[in-house]
Structure 1
């Protein structure tokens, strides 16, 4: 019965969120928070962008970041960051991130970032999921669909 009430609470909570709110879903004894963000990387911002969470994150929580990698037949394909691209000329590009209790930093690493085409640096879409540490390692975190299902996340408000 407790699980059914928690599920009903989570659905009610998600239905009441606007696109500017953070999704926080309670699943038994933990709360997961998630959001989507579009980032432009360039030399002026040193190929990095820092986003404050805008909600409480505990020191033991873990942040997962996914990048929109492709769209196939109208279906978005998400990959767990870091992701590496090797170009035909041998140059490489790595989408990466790190996080603190206050924010998440998205950044690029690579051999020649100043000459990477804009398609790789502009309008990059990321999904961020903050997971309580007790729940990390129990699922395949590389699959965003498994993470969403496990934590009851049905949408990612865009920032």
Structure 2
């Protein structure tokens, strides 16, 4: 029995030993995921079916997470107020009036309005909406308050000068 185990161990060593050549062997590194922030000014109306498609280049890795924020106002001190999508607005009786939502693929982000009668939504909510698309790499901390765009940008080490404007 000892001879069989010894034989199998030696055979295993030869089998698992890799072949080498006179050249060096290198593994191509994986692309380094970086954080990116894009800003888009979009209007939502019946002509565009209350949606905007934002094509991104370079593509989004399948492990990335995309966050979309909408500029909803300015504080008395002059700071921007951003809301993380999805964002919903309700009638007084608790039924859905309208909202904003999004989905994404590896090449684009689709931002759209939802609701029963979007034509009746105030133009303050439909026209000239400023949106920020934040691409976070895999492994982005779950401890960050994603509702706070400033905390997200700080954690990603992205400042306002690095925001890329996209014209639709």
Does TM-score exceed 0.5, indicating one fold? yes
**1:143 pairs with one of 129, 141, 148:** 148
Per the alignment, in what secondary structure is the counterpart of residue 142 of structure 2? coil
Q: Which has the larger radius of gyration?
A: 2
Q: Confirm or deny: 8 A CA contact 1:91 1:112 kept in the other structure.
A: no
Instruction: Compare the two structures and name the one with the higher strand fraction.
Output: 1
Q: Do structure 1's residue 104 and structure 2's residue 109 form an aligned pair?
A: yes
Distance in 2 (CA, whole Å) between partners of 1:40 and 1:84 is: 17
Show structure 2 runs of 5+ residues with no match: 1-31
CA drift of 1:107 comes to: 0.1
**2:128 pairs with one of 106, 118, 123:** 123
Distance in 2 (CA, whole Å) between partners of 1:30 and 1:51 is: 20
Which residue is equivalent to 1:6?
none
Q: TM-score, normalised by structure 2?
A: 0.72
**2:72 pairs with one of 50, 69, 79:** 69
Distance in 2 (CA, whole Å) between partners of 1:94 and 1:158 is: 24
Across the two proteins, how many residue pairs are aligned to each other?
131
Show structure 1 runs of 5+ residues with no match: 1-28
User: After superposition, where does 1:1-159 map in structure 2 within 5 Å?
Assistant: 30-73=33-76, 74-87=78-91, 92-155=97-160, 156-159=163-166
CA drift of 1:86 comes to: 2.1
CA drift of 1:133 comes to: 2.2
- CA RMSD across the alignment: 1.7
Runs of 4+ in structure 1 deviating by more than 3 angstroms, as ranges, are 87-91
Distance in 2 (CA, whole Å) between partners of 1:87 and 1:107 is: 19
CA change 1:144–1:104 in 2 (3 A) is same
Distance in 2 (CA, whole Å) between partners of 1:30 and 1:142 is: 22
